[in-house]
């Protein structure tokens, strides 16, 4: 069954003091309905990606809350998979359509992170790690730092290789009006930024952000004819142990490899067919691992390729994270997975403004959304 993404809306990402979680959610829902030229009654269900609403503000039962705010009464599902909440919501929305339960579904991801102080956020995010990891004080930067140290040692790389990821993503974000950080940075800036979890510094880490993003997907042939949409070729999920301790490797995320392998197989395309990708750079190391796990770069080579800025706009065949990635566009946890899909949608429909890459009707796009230190991975593939 053919299905498409036919509309997208995102709030800016950043410190949005005036907006609550549900202000942002409502804005994204109303925005995407407007951009898709749809009425509320044309939607069959809503999938809502959010991680921290329960922990930070005692706000659960989000489905009923959204129904209340929008005055709707269709099925609404909250989906949680740590930082993969948005991608997972999209995956489930797609399954809802392909199983015939509905034809047009709205996916919205949202997060409000700036109402509490930093150490409370750190603790909230740690809920995506195992009990043992939490008990010894391993924070999220800490978990990825363990991976980064081993990756740098194994392939004889330095912090510069990691830093180049952040530099590239800031360069892209400078062209994204919705990005949290639009400033260019240098490798030197990253290396001298304050330490967060050695060897990761502040500028190796995605920020704390507020924001909401929404897409509409449909299998309704009339709506697909009416809109310039992008076709969903595949969306696959894989799960691995929550705990880094029980993974086979510190330098690979098997969940990404499995989700990608399933997605490419379903869509009958290969990594080398992808021209535009949004990958999960929660930390600089995460993008290097992703480029290898997704099959774009050979194992052990990502550091070298990244330092040559091979995946920057107008460099080569594959451009990665034109939105600015999580690092520079911002990372409101539940929204990110949806924003990634939105960015690929904008690129493939020639609406990406100053950061547009060359696309035609043979161009394929990929989104990659990870939960925790690799416990969940969602990979989705799109074509024109």
Partner 1 sequence: MISPVKVWRRQKTIRDLLGKKGSVVSWTRIFTPPPQFRHIAPYWTVLVELTNKQRICAQLVDFDFHNEITKGMKVVVTLRKLRESVSDDVIPYTIACRPV
**Residues marked as catalytic:** 83, 331
Binding site for partner 1 (CB under 8 A): 118-120, 122-123, 126, 132-133, 135-139, 141-142, 145-147, 149-150, 153, 194-200, 244-246, 250
Minimum CB separation of residue 15 from partner 1 in Å reads 17
Bond before 133 cis per omega within 30 degrees: no
Please give the sequence-ordered ranges of beta strands (E in DSSP) within 187-331, or none if there are none: 195-197, 200-201, 211-218, 230-239, 274-278, 319-320
Q: How far is CA 267 from CA 23, 238, 256, 288, 364, in A?
A: 37, 16, 16, 24, 10
Choice between 86 and 142, CB closer to partner 1: 142
Minimum CB separation of residue 285 from partner 1 in Å reads 11
Minimum CB separation of residue 202 from partner 1 in Å reads 9
Angstrom distance (rounded) from CA 79 to CA 100 = 20
User: How many other CB atoms sit within 10 Å of the CB of residue 46?
Assistant: 26
Choice between 143 and 234, CB closer to partner 1: 143
297-313 burial by CB neighbour count: b if 16+ within 10 A, else e? beeeebbbbbbeebbbb
Q: Which residues, in sequence order, are bridge partners of residue 320?
A: 277
Minimum CB separation of residue 154 from partner 1 in Å reads 10
Residue 77, phi then psi, degrees to nearest 5:
-120, 130
Choice between 96 and 151, CB closer to partner 1: 151
Choice between 188 and 198, CB closer to partner 1: 198
Angstrom distance (rounded) from CA 67 to CA 329 = 29
């Amino acid at each position: 069954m053919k299905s498409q993404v036919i509309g997208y809306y995102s709030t800016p990402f950043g410190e949005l003091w005036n907006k609550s979680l549900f202000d942002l959610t409502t804005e994204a829902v109303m925005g995407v309905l407007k951009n898709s030229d749809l009425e509320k009654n044309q939607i069959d269900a809503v999938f809502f990606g959010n991680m921290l609403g329960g922990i930070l503000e005692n706000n659960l039962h989000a489905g009923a809350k959204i129904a209340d705010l929008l005055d709707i009464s269709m099925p609404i599902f909250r989906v949680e998979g740590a930082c993969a909440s948005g991608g997972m919501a999209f995956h489930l929305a797609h399954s809802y359509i392909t199983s015939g339960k509905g034809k047009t579904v709205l996916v919205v991801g949202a997060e409000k992170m700036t109402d509490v102080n930093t150490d409370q956020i750190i603790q909230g995010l740690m809920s995506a790690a195992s009990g043992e990891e939490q008990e010894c004080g391993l924070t999220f930067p800490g978990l990825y730092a363990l991976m980064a140290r081993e990756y740098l040692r194994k392939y004889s790389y330095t912090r510069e290789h990691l830093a180049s990821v952040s530099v590239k993503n800031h360069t892209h974000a400078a062209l994204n009006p919705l990005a949290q950080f639009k400033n260019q940075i240098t490798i030197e800036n990253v290396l001298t930024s304050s330490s967060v979890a050695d060897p990761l510094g502040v500028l190796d880490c995605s920020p704390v952000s507020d924001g909401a993003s929404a897409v509409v997907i449909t299998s309704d042939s009339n709506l697909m004819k009416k809109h310039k949409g992008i076709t969903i070729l595949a969306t696959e999920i894989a799960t691995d142990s929550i705990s880094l301790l029980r993974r086979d490797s510190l330098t690979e995320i098997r969940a990404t490899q499995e989700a990608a392998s399933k997605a490419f197989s379903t869509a009958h395309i290969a990594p080398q067919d992808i021209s535009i990708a949004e990958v999960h750079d929660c930390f600089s190391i995460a993008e290097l691992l992703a480029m290898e796990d997704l099959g774009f770069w050979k194992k052990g080579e990502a550091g070298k390729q990244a330092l040559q800025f091979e995946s920057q706009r107008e460099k080569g065949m594959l451009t990665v994270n034109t939105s600015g990635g999580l690092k520079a566009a911002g990372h409101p946890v539940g929204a990110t997975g949806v924003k990634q899909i939105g960015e690929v949608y904008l690129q493939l429909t020639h609406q990406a403004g100053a950061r547009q890459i060359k696309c035609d009707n043979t161009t394929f796009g990929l989104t990659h959304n990870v939960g925790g230190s690799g416990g969940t991975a969602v990979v989705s593939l799109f074509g024109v």
